[in-house]
Structure 1
Amino acid sequence: MLTTPIRPICLLAVTFTLCAFGVISSADAAEKRLNVLFIAVDDMNNDLGCYGHDHVFSPNIDRLAQSGTRFDRAYCQFPLCSPSRTSIMTGLRPDATTVYDLRKHFRKVLPDVVTMPQAFAKAGYFTARVGKIYHYGNPGQIGTNGLDDAPSWQVRINPSGRDKKEENLLTNHTPKRGLGSSLSFMAAEGTDEEQTDGIVATEAIRLMEEHRDEPFFIAAGFYRPHCPYIAPKKYFEHYPIGKVPVWNNDFPEVKQVPQWALASNKPWPWLGVNPQQLQEAQQAYWATISFVDAQVGRLMDALDRLELRENTVVVFWSDHGYHFGAHGLVKKQSLFEQSTRVPFIISAPGQKQTGTHSGRTVELVDVYPTLTDLCGIEAPRNLAGDSLVPLLNDPEATWNKPALTQTIRGPKMMGYSLRTERYRLTKWGDDGLELYDYETDPHELHNLANDPQHAELMKELSVKLTNLRN
């Protein structure tokens, strides 16, 4: 395990205003500041109990949702790790950062940008990262700093566990692909704490213990359920293989979509695996979700034990969604719902309502202005998102902002997708169009883009998409 201390950041004398929920009284506002526990997961879709999934066992994430607000229509900016994580941490859209791949660092384009943890550090917070928050190759760069951003943190911890050492024991149904994009898995021996994600939880808890008497922004970045899908054996027991669905290779809806919509999988469908192999990978993926859920439970239990729960904002998010069969797709990088939609929960001290859910369309770029708003921190003026505090106070509050996701095909073809509460409009270049009505077609089986009855709607949504891009 590598620990890299960053140069100390001087504490600034600042004046804090009351947080949005009135959780700090005027008498102690200067002394008692809200902490942030920032929990990231890698490649997790909405297959969670709190999102209504019947199969997946996720009691701890469900418990977190009961203590805060679950966002039912939350969307990433780019369904790929590095561009998405760059956007949430800078508060800027991919066209502003120009990060569209897994190699480019945003500081090459925006050397002076103030990231979210930097904003907190300037306000006197201790900032630390354990695990994957900015991008680095998973699993190839486990144990390293990867594509991290040193100015964001005072302490960086890069765990490496038993899963990394035992990669030779994996079952791999796509041996010609690198492990980071494979359908590979293992029901591991040993304990949770021996796995890389178990170490993430252990180290994040240690940091909370050591810094409980000062305001902190501690980020815990879990590596699962990203492939290879590795979890201790006990988590596979939740999912007997006979109860895992088997897909038929029958997708008539794909005849209605532009070629770019399916280009994230080569070969198509399912990267060339058969239905039984896909079923085995699905079982392992769900097992890793339950394993990560247990580590989230450890963090929440530590907050309670340290009596920090009433003074800590907890944020739970995934960098993007994930396909497992629909439209003949697996993994990410599409602009369909399963790839763009993310699990997203905020639990803040003093919320007027808890255990609520909001159906408003929100984006990961909204996280930065929300956390600075909650904690009375000064934020840069050029952030692309909006504070979600009104929705934390009232999940059904008026909210007219749609969500925008984009992805790239090859060096030039950029696809943009606008999501409102009811519709999705996707544009691939000038002539590749998709339109879905989730009220009548929740599984995106009918592309309405060329339906004359929807011509006016297409124009209206196109204007919104153009405005959001600009």
Structure 2
Amino acid sequence: MIREFSQLIWGGITEDSSQTTPSVERYPSPRPALNWAVGKFPFSYWQRGLDSYAQVMGIVDTQIGRVIDAIPQDVLNNTVIVFASDHGEYSGAHGFVQGKIGTTYEEAWHIPLIVVGPSGRFTGDIDQTRTGLTSHVDLSTLLVSIGNLGTRDWMTGNLATMYGNRHDMISMLKSASAPGRAYVLFATDEVLPDYFNFNRAPTHILGLRTEDTKLGFYADWVPLTSQIINSSVELEYYDYATTNGQLELRNMASQDPDAVQSMVNQLLNIHLPNELQQNLPGVLGVQQQLAKTAHLTYREFIALQPAGVWLNGGLQKLLGYGREF
């Protein structure tokens, strides 16, 4: 569903290799009033999309190079350069022209991390790529620890409570043999009006990734809570020991139920309460609950909007979908 919705907002590309001209297809919906259509470009635009993405990345790389070249040598010797991203990009994968939302596919949440330390104080084995798992939640401790001369002794009190279990990425910078995490977690809560959700796809998404497997957990919540509605759960499971598993082309959730249930238990009974929904200490916990309440209230506000809102530009006015950046 998320692919069709993305195409409704930004347009799509046909999967028919014989199509050489643009076309228009009706958006799939059981609602007769939703007589919306999706523009589909010719099949050759899949390659054009990849070419465009490569061109943009080249432009960005050039500008980064200009910035680095402008740093005086004495400043550069006391600088650590960290290059990362907040999310990945489908860029043609799994039938998505572009985007980053609505799935647990590797392209959406496997991002680059490049750390350059000209002084050599924090880095070693610089010609060897690290393949161990790490997470966005480890980045803040990495940056603070670099600013603390490479040590983690700044973690005391509430800071230790919040960040003490984050992975030590400094060790990975120094040695290619330093281990990564045993697992990484992923969470995204998409805001999608029911009016466009033609197959009632669940929009609260969790992921659990290990070195050799991945679980995708999709669910709806009881309104105004984060309580999972069990009947809404949909699962994905990929075994990276196989080619189709590595490419995430074959969902094995129904074929290895024991392995899937084991990962579901870990995700819901261990990682969800102790990490993803862990209560923050002190006044931060108050702000955490206020933010959660605001999010749940906003979701309910969107869910309660009548059809007329969406038929009259609500996607742009309320959600910003399709609006120019």
**TM class, shorter-chain normalised?**
0.5 to 0.7
User: Secondary structure of 1:275's partner?
Assistant: coil
Any idea what SS the aligned residue of 2:80 has? Answer: strand
**Separation of aligned partners in 2, 1:315 and 1:418:** 26
Give SS of 2:235's match: strand
Task: Indicate how the Cα distance of structure 1 residues 368 and 271 shifts in structure 2: closer, same or farther if over 3 A, else same.
Answer: farther
Q: Distance in 2 between matches of 1:247 and 1:272?
A: 5
Shift of 1:408: 2.4
- Distance change >3 Å, CA 271–CA 403, structure 1 → 2: farther
Change (3 A) 1:356 1:300: farther
Unaligned ranges ≥5, structure 1: 1-173, 184-245, 251-269
Deviation at 1:359, TM superposition (A): 1.2
More helix by share: 2
Equivalent residues in 2 for 1:96-245, closer than 5 Å: 177=9
Secondary structure in 2 aligned to 1:284? helix
TM-score (norm 1): 0.40
| Offset, 1:463 | 3.4
Pairing partner for 2:74 from 282, 307, 313: 307
CA distance in 2, matches of 1:247, 1:338: 21
3-state DSSP of counterpart to 1:361 = coil
Corresponding residue of 1:437: 239
1:135-175 superposed Cα distances (whole Å, 9 cap, x missing partner)? xxxxxxxxxxxxxxxxxxxxxxxxxxxxxxxxxxxxxxx8x
The yes-or-no answer on 1:395 pairing with 2:176 is: yes
- Give the CA deviation at 1:336: 0.5
Name whichever structure is richer in strand by fraction.
1
Q: What is the number of residues matched between the two proteins?
A: 209
> Contact 1:322 / 1:332 at 8 angstroms: preserved in 2?
yes
Offset at residue 302 of structure 1 (A): 2.4
Output the CA distance in 1 between the equivalents of 2:127 and 2:143.
Answer: 19
CA distance in 2, matches of 1:465, 1:346: 30
User: Structure 2: which amino acid aligns with 1:327?
Assistant: H
1:182 positional shift: 6.7
User: Which residue does 1:341 correspond to in 2?
Assistant: 110
- Structure-1 residue corresponding to 2:136: 364
Work out whether residues 90 and 108 of structure 2, in 8 Å CA contact, stay in contact via their aligned partners in 1. yes
Q: Distance in 1 between matches of 2:57 and 2:249?
A: 27
* Structure 1 position 284 matched with structure 2 position 52: yes
Question: What secondary structure sits across from 1:356 in the alignment?
Answer: coil
1:248 CA displacement: 4.7
Deviation of 1:386 (Å): 2.6
State the identity %. Answer: 23
Q: 1:247 to 1:362 in 2, by over 3 A?
A: farther
Q: Is the contact between residue 134 and residue 181 of structure 2 (CA under 8 Å) also seen in structure 1?
A: no
Counterpart CA distance in 1 for 2:39 and 2:186 is 23
Residue from 206, 209, 225 that aligns with 1:419: 209
Unaligned runs of 5+ in 2: 1-6, 18-37, 193-201, 220-229, 274-325
Amino acid at match of 1:438: Y
The verdict on how the C-alpha distance between 1:385 and 1:312 changes in structure 2, with shifts beyond 3 A counting, is: same
Cα distance in 2 between the residues matched to 1:271 and 1:374: 49
Q: Distance in 2 between matches of 1:428 and 1:297?
A: 40
Name the structure 1 match of 2:100. Answer: 332
Helix, strand or coil for the counterpart of 1:354?
Answer: coil
Partner of 1:450: 254
Task: Work out the CA distance in 1 between the residues paired with 2:110 and 2:142.
Answer: 19
**8 Å CA contact retained: 1:249, 1:328:** no
Counterparts of 2:135 and 2:39, CA distance in 1: 29
Q: Secondary structure at the match of 1:358?
A: coil
* Per-residue Cα deviation, 1:8-60 (whole angstroms, up to 9, x for no partner): xxxxxxxxxxxxxxxxxxxxxxxxxxxxxxxxxxxxxxxxxxxxxxxxxxxxx
Offset, 1:282: 2.4
Partner of 2:249: helix, strand, or coil? coil
Deviation at 1:361, TM superposition (A): 1.1
Which letter maps to 2:216? T
1:328-351 CA-to-partner distances (Å, cap 9, x unmatched) read: 113110210111111111223322
Q: 2:186 corresponds to which residue? A: 405
CA gap 1:413/1:248 in 2 versus in 1, 3 angstroms: closer
Instruction: Determine helix, strand or coil for the equivalent of 2:115.
Output: strand
Aligned pairs (5 A) from 1:45-56: none
Code of the residue aligned with 2:204 in structure 1: it is M
C-alpha distance in structure 1 between counterparts of 2:271 and 2:50, whole Å: 35
Partner of 1:70: none
Q: Is the 8 A contact 1:359 1:421 kept in 2?
A: no
Q: Which residue is 2:43 aligned to?
A: 275
Deviation of 1:365 (Å): 1.1
1:464 and 2:266 matched: yes
How far did residue 444 of structure 1 move? 0.9
**1:259-279 Cα distance to aligned partner (Å, 9 max, x none):** xxxxxxxxxxx9743322333
1:374 aligned residue (136, 142, 146): 146
- For the pair shown, which has the larger CA radius of gyration, 1 or 2? 2
CA contact (8 A) 1:417 1:427 kept: yes
